[in-house]
Copies of this chain bind each other. A is one copy, B any other.
Amino acid sequence: MKIGADNIEINEVAPRDGLQIEPQLVPTADKIAFIDQLSTCGFRRIEVTSFTSPRAIPALADAQEVMQGIRRDPDVIYTALIPNLKGLERALAVGIDECNIVMSCSETHNRANLRMTRAQSKQQLLDIIEQAQAHNLPCNVSLSTAFGCPFEGDIAPEQVLALSQEFMAAGATGITLCDTTGMAYPTQVTQLCAQHIAHIPASALTLHLHNTRGMALANALAGWGEGITRFDAAAGGLGGCPYAPGASGNVSTEELVHMFECMWINTGVNLNRLLDIVKDLPALVQRPLSSPLLTAGTRLQTHPAPAWLAEHFAA
């Protein structure tokens, strides 16, 4: 196995990427309490909300109240999804530390998800980057369907790299390679990350993985081995994709942190504190939710030996 960096950063995206598709509306106060708890866990970034039209994503209509309501830890970068210049204005009014802006690598997914052509999206993103720069606001570009599109299939890695380079040249401060519907596989992750790292500093790159087909941790391992040090993840594996109904969502933060901490890689995240939060997620989202790691316990959380053993082996 190729060994990566000793220290990695975790970006917690559940408040935005997870809650945006939850069927039950989460009250604003509960969101704020959730984010405040996450702030105590040691994440590098927390994606708080999305400054999108309340009509497009009713679940995040309270973006400004949430942003204003949370307690800001100076060691955490509070980021938000910014879909357009109007959203940027709303975000600037309440203060965010970083923008996250999104388009898809594939034409069909971009049209289905953003209702624009890729050309239109790209122009919009370049406009946001320009405005953000004018306000000294870092701007990260998340490239959806970088590892495959649920409508079009495979995406040429050169196409993804060309977009990444164009946005970095325009002033983006980072690129997130998003496996939007869990199509990434380890050798592909290796290839796309290696191609990117040849042109873009590893410290500006993030992997955003989904566990749709069980490969999220294997893909994280492959990316880490190539030099990736930044990972998006969602507590409890919240999130998902409307185009793969029933499919599981983002890589679960607790499993990602647990794996790397088992390997003595420092994630900065306090796993026990995180697991306490995950325990309360079903109450937050008002539906049953299972976290395999929570069920099983961390790997060295041992069990007492069965009581009958002592007697059975006494003779």
Interface residues of A (CB under 8 A from B): 1-3, 108, 111-112, 115, 117, 148-154, 181-183, 185-188, 190, 211-218, 220-222, 225-226, 243-248, 252, 255, 258-259, 262-264, 292-293, 295-300, 302-306, 309, 312-313
Contacts and interface: CB of A to CB of B under 8 A. Distances in A.
8 contacts: A111-B312, A115-B312, A182-B296, A185-B259, A186-B259, A214-B217, A217-B217, A245-B295
Contacts of A1: 1-2, 186-187, 190, 221-222, 225-226
A247 B292 contact: yes
A130 B187 CA distance: 43
A314 to B, nearest CB: 12
Nearest to A181: B296
- Which secondary structure dominates where chain A touches chain B? loop
A264 B185 CA distance: 11
B154 A300 contact: yes
Given A185-B262, A221-B221, A213 B293 contact: yes
A221 B259 CA distance: 14
Given A1-B187, A218-B259, A248-B296, 8 more contacts: A111-B312, A112-B306, A115-B312, A151-B305, A214-B255, A214-B292, A214-B293, A247-B296
A113 to B, nearest CB: 10
Contacts of A150: 302-303
A299 B181 CA distance: 9
Nearest to A3: B187
A296 B213 contact: yes
Contact of A303 (B117, B185, B243, B296): B243
Contacts of A154: 300
A149 B300 CA distance: 9
B259 A214 contact: yes
Nearest to A226: B1
Given A1-B187, A190-B1, A258 B306 contact: no
Contacts of A183: 299-300
Contact of A300 (B148, B182, B248): B148
A247 B312 contact: no
Contacts of A247: 292, 295-296
A302 to B, nearest CB: 5
Contact of A258 (B213, B216, B217, B263): B213
Contacts of A303: 150-151, 243-244
A305 B108 contact: yes
Contacts of A252: 214
A218 B299 CA distance: 15
Contacts of A259: 185-186, 213-215, 218
